[in-house]
Structure formats: structure tokens, C-alpha cells
Structure 1
Amino acid sequence: MARKDDAITCKVKEFRLGKGWSQQELADRIDVRRQAIYDIESGRYLPNTAIALRLARIFGCRVEELFVEHAPPETEPVHLVDDTGGSSTRLALGRVRNRLVGLPLQGAESIPFGLRSADGLLNPDKKSAYILSSSDRLEKTIILMGCDPAFDILGHHVTRLAPEARVHCRFASSHRALNGLAEGVTHVAGTHLHNTGKTETNVVVASQKLVGMRSRVMGFSLLEEGLMVARHNPLGIRSVADLAQPMVRFVNREQGAALRVLLDDQLQQAGIAGSAVEGYENEVTTHREGAYRIACNVADAALGLRAIAEAFNLSFVPITAARCDLVIPTDITSHPTVRILLDVLQSAALRREIDAIPGYEGSVTGTTIAVL
């Protein structure tokens, strides 16, 4: 065996878990010792050509899918446009003649501009569609339901690695996303339910909703959740308890949303009834809707993420951090774009960008949380 190469990510463990095999079972199938499998999966060693080919044959994949090589990042001078001195380090890049131009992705510029092109048009019968995209393009498209805004970033990383692959991100609460997985209307579901004690709520709820559906739960991000408030926090809101103060206009999330559950738990701990909060019954269904109402001065506080607050030039009062996971059915992992997505989850490039988003951390990105 060769020594560890930090430029190569080993995916053997993910493929083995997908088959439901132990390390000993895999070792027996390719005629090596269990210690060899442990060393390969832990990244201590890279296997020789013969063992790599045996592994690929037993998993029915290519060697390149088991051992993913990452090219070293390039660095070169960049000319910043409209730099306001913000804290964001994420850039949209383009070459203008021989100059590398960087557009800072901060504030409103971090939210996509323009309308999305359609793949089809609904026919008058409401039961069929006139298809605009090619069949091959649709076969390489996957749907990801969830409410983490960083899912769009994941989709862009997938397309960079394989330009023909696409990830359609559809905003949905954690429960709706998992229900969509159970109903067979999405390939991947994102969930960031809050843990109670030592209970892994993402895993527990996923196992309840996906009875009989073998799935893998993968870590995606750690994200900071709390209250979005007007710039400089003029009302001095410091906690959920301050929402009950007179003159504070609050906007809530819908029933079942993870942030709504978090709010209710916090209010209960503070001994405050929801009826004591002006606007408790006033609901929106996305982080952006709440932020927009504050920006338009029709609300003073809304539940949301630090990243969204900064995009709308708002201030933020942190409450907690939650882990957002991706739930992927085992039978879906053979989809070519899902395979690429799994590779991207292991990439240092994705983790670095997640770390660069305000209120985010990428330490859990790509880790296997549970196998259902």
C-alpha cells in the first residue's frame, strides 16, 4: 500500500455502508485483512492497483469514484468591484480580457438575481407538460427539498464538478422535505430539527417518516439561528423574552417549522405565552419573507439565520446553532448526480465556502451521521 495522500478523498466507507457491510465482510469479499480496510477507510494508506480494482468491482463503480483526487487550488490577483469593506470573503469571479474580476457576495448581492428558466410549461389540462429541456438534461437533474439557503451553493459546486449535472433546490420545512422523500417527489431532503437532550432529532424523525426506506443521513452544515432585527437593533432586543415587550412587532414562522418549534421552546422556558407576543399569529413561510418585512419597517423582529440578516443589512440576535443534515435514500445513491453530490460533500472547497458564510460552519460537512 502507498502512504496517505491528502489530495485524495477515500469514499470506500460510504460505499461499504451503502451496502450494509461490516469492515470484516468487505475484507472477506476482496481477500484482505480487516485491518487493511480500516487503514484504507481512515486514510492512513492508499491501496495498490489490484486492491483498488477489486474494490471497484465489488461495488460496481469506477476506481475514481472510490478515490477522488482534488486538484490544488489556484491563487492569482483579483480586481474587486464595488467593494464596500464588508466581512464577506466569497466572490463571484469572471475574466474581463486578462483581468480576473471579483464581485463580493455580500448583502443583497448574495441572493440570486433574476428569474429562473423553466424546463417545461404546464399544458391547459393541468396534467401534462410541454418539455423545454432535453431528456438527457432531465435525467441528470435532482431535486433537493429543504430550507438551508446554502443548498444553492452545494448545487453550484455540483455543477462546477460536472457541468451537465443540476440540483434544483426547493424551499421546504424540515418536515415537508422528509415527507417529500417519503412520497417520492424529491431525491434528497434537508432537515435541521433541534435536538432535545441527547436525542438526534434529525435522525429520529427521518426514521419515523421513512419506515422501510433505507437511507443515509449526511452532515451538511452548522448554522446560527436567532432573531433578525432592524439595523443596530434600535429596540434593544436581546432574547426571545424581549418579544413580549410593548411596541415590538414580531413575525412568526409557520406551524411545524424548526424555528417555530425553537421559539415555542424558548417562550415556554421563559414562562411567556405566545399570546403575549404581538404578531405571534402573523406567519411567514421563509427566512427571506421575515427579513423583507423588517427591511420594509412593517415588523421589528423575525425568526431567521444570521446569513439572511446580513444579506438584508439587518442586525441579528443569536439563539442557538443547529446542524443541517441531508437525508439520501440508499437506492437514490446510484443516480449519477447524487454520486457527484456525495463527492462534493467530501471536498475541501465546499467546506471552505461554508465556513466563509456568516453564521455557518463546515466541520460536519460530508460526515455520516447515521445509516437508517
Structure 2
Amino acid sequence: MSSDISYTTEEIAAILKISKLTVYDLIKKGELPSYRVGKQMRVDASDLEAYKQRMKSASKTADSPAAVAAAHDSSQAAAASAARSGQRSVVITGQDLSLDLLAKHMEKSVPGIRPLRSYVGSLDSLVSMYRGESDIVSTHLLDGDTGEYNLPYVRRLLTGRSYLVVNLLVRRAGLYVRQGNPLRIADWSDLGRPGLRLANREIGSGARVLLDEQLRLHGIRPESLVGYGNEETNHIGVAGKVASGEADVGVGIEKAAAIVGQVDFLPLIRERYDLVFLKTPDNREWIESVVGILRSPAFLSELGAISGYDLSMTGQVLYET
């Protein structure tokens, strides 16, 4: 493998056919060396290959009496170490900058936990919570039939789970168009124009759900949009495609347009960006502390310094089972 190749935690999970939570555990234990690039944790290809070779070698001797005894001792030592540290990993999913800020405050203020970030979309986040792979998920999913954000999806996907839904912030979403809006795009119905080139988001993201719901409500067939199948993994990627002229329009949030530049933003909807907490016995003891952080002057002051956020509902409990 080339020494300059690296993988995200999501890519490692796919390669090894394990959950992202297991990848985080391997990183935490030091079995997979990692480093941070921007918002993402990355693992070099050479370190992944070394880990795979160690696992292959271990499997060859795993059944020997000495190996069984060593594994038992190692397991006991790991458990003892974890008990001594008193820490457990808390996986927070989502891509917004506000979540990195929340993780920082949790690390400083909530004893006994270690926040870990997973940069996945809203729908995939809820699925990961249903599977028990995440503890706090962020979501901004519009239900077109009711006009309600998040709760219809949470109720359907987390059937049988105990959870708490708390607002993190409200932000504006809409369309990215080329600078000066030469095509005079004004609202969702304009997406039905023949030949319009779209920069799309990946399946499972909140922006993709917003687009698909608006297309459905306006009677526009997705296949009529040129580029509907071309997916970007974040808002900045979509805004960048429009800014470069590779696309005429894309769906996203206001902040990405300001970061990318050379692109105009048409605000069409105010979306509620909520947090869902899984209320397991292990989680209940720190959930109250995290909600306290959301309502704290220190957190609100830092979050308020970031433009484009409405914090009038931040920390408000919206639903609880």
C-alpha cells in the first residue's frame, strides 16, 4: 500500500466489515494509530495493514492453551484499566460545527466520558442509534406531509428505544445558485426546469431528505434533474460544485455558502437541528449534564459567536419517552 493513503473511520468500518463504534474502540485502545485532519479522524493504510497482519498472526495461535491464558489475562487487564480510568466512549454523530463545540465542552465538564465524533448524515445517525452504535445523534429531517422536523422520523426509527430529543439550534436551509443567480431560480418549483444541473447530497443526509421531500411535494421527478445521482458528502462540497460552474443548483445550509464564496444562497426554510440522546442505563447519569451544557452561558456564548444560528430554542426538551 502507498504510504500516503489514509482512510476515514467510516471507510475503515466498511473495509473491516465492523461497526464505526468498533473502529472508535480500536483507536481508543491504541490498536489502530490515528490522527485528525480537520474534523475527521484518519488512519494510514500502512497502519491498517499492520493491524490486519497482527490479527492474522493472532488467529493462528488463538486456540493454543498459552494463547487462551494470555487472552484471558489481557482481557482482565483491559477491563481493570477501563475501570480505573472510569471513562467510557460517547459517540456523537453529525457534521455541524456546533457538535465539535459541544464535544469540547463535554470533555471539559462531564467526568467519566470521552466524546468521540462520527461525521455521518441524519438518517444514518438514527439508524446507528437504533443499532446501539451511537449515544447522541444530530438530525435535521423534514417530514413533508406534516412540515415537522425530526420527530416523525425519530418515532418511526427508534421504536422500542428510550430516548430524549433536545433542540441544539435552528438554521436556514435552501438553494445554492451561481453567483448573480443568472438562471433566476427563486423557489423549489424551479427545480423542475428542463436541463437544470444539480449537485446532490448522499442518501441519508438531511439535505438529501429535504430535496427529495420538496421534489415529491412539487411533483418533480428526481430523474429529470441532471446530476441527481452525483453525490457530495457535505454542504461545502455541494456549494463548491455550484461555485465552480459544474452545477446550477444544490441544496444546503447558509453557512457553507459563506465559507465557499462565489455562490449565492436562497433561504427557503428554517430547519430545526435537534439532538437525540439514547437513554440507556449507562447514559442516563451524564445526559442531564450535557443538557446543562446546552443551556449554559459559556456554551451559548461560544455558539452565538458563529453566524447563522438561531439559539432561541437551544436546550429545550422537545420529546421524551
Q: Under TM normalisation by the shorter chain, which class is it?
A: 0.5 to 0.7
Partner of 1:317: 266
Match of 1:124 among 52, 75, 78: 52
| Distance (Å, rounded) in 1 between the aligned partners of 2:121 and 2:54 | 26
- Which secondary structure does the structure 1 equivalent of 2:160 belong to? coil
- Which secondary structure does the structure 2 equivalent of 1:360 belong to? coil
Q: Structure 1, unaligned stretches of length 5 or more?
A: 1-111
| Distance (Å, rounded) in 2 between the aligned partners of 1:344 and 1:116 | 25
1:204–1:272: structure 2 CA closer, same or farther, 3 Å change rule? closer
Q: Is the 8 A contact 2:236 2:259 kept in 1?
A: no
- Which secondary structure does the structure 1 equivalent of 2:150 belong to? helix
Structure 2 matches for 1:148-227, cutoff 5 A? 148-161=96-109, 166-196=114-144, 200=148, 202-227=150-175
| Distance (Å, rounded) in 1 between the aligned partners of 2:129 and 2:295 | 23
The normalised TM-score by structure 1 is 0.59
1:200–1:274: structure 2 CA closer, same or farther, 3 Å change rule? closer
| Distance (Å, rounded) in 2 between the aligned partners of 1:169 and 1:294 | 28
Q: Is the 8 A contact 2:295 2:314 kept in 1?
A: yes
Q: Is the 8 A contact 1:305 1:359 kept in 2?
A: no
Partner of 1:333: 283
Partner of 2:232: 284
Could you list the structure 1 runs, at least 4 aligned residues long, displaced by more than 6 angstroms after superposition. none
1:127-183 deviation per Cα after TM superposition (whole angstroms, max 9, x unaligned): 69xx9xx85779254211124342112223334546986432212222211111111
Partner of 1:354: 303
| Distance (Å, rounded) in 1 between the aligned partners of 2:238 and 2:167 | 26
Match of 2:246 among 285, 289, 298: 298
| Distance (Å, rounded) in 2 between the aligned partners of 1:298 and 1:198 | 34
* Structure 2 residue identity aligned to 1:210: L
* Structure 1 residue identity aligned to 2:315: G
* Structure 2 residue identity aligned to 1:346: R
| Distance (Å, rounded) in 1 between the aligned partners of 2:299 and 2:166 | 14
Structure number with greater Rg is 1
Q: Is the 8 A contact 1:354 1:361 kept in 2?
A: no
Q: CA deviation at 1:200?
A: 4.7
The normalised TM-score by structure 2 is 0.67
- Which secondary structure does the structure 2 equivalent of 1:150 belong to? helix
1:165–1:229: structure 2 CA closer, same or farther, 3 Å change rule? farther
1:290–1:127: structure 2 CA closer, same or farther, 3 Å change rule? farther
- Which secondary structure does the structure 1 equivalent of 2:275 belong to? strand
How many aligned positions are there?
Answer: 255
Structure 2 matches for 1:217-256, cutoff 5 A? 217-245=165-193, 248-256=196-204
The percent identity for this pair of structures is 29
Partner of 2:29: none
Q: Structure 2, unaligned stretches of length 5 or more?
A: 1-36, 57-77
Moved more, 265-274 or 359-368: 265-274
Moved more, 181-190 or 278-287: 278-287
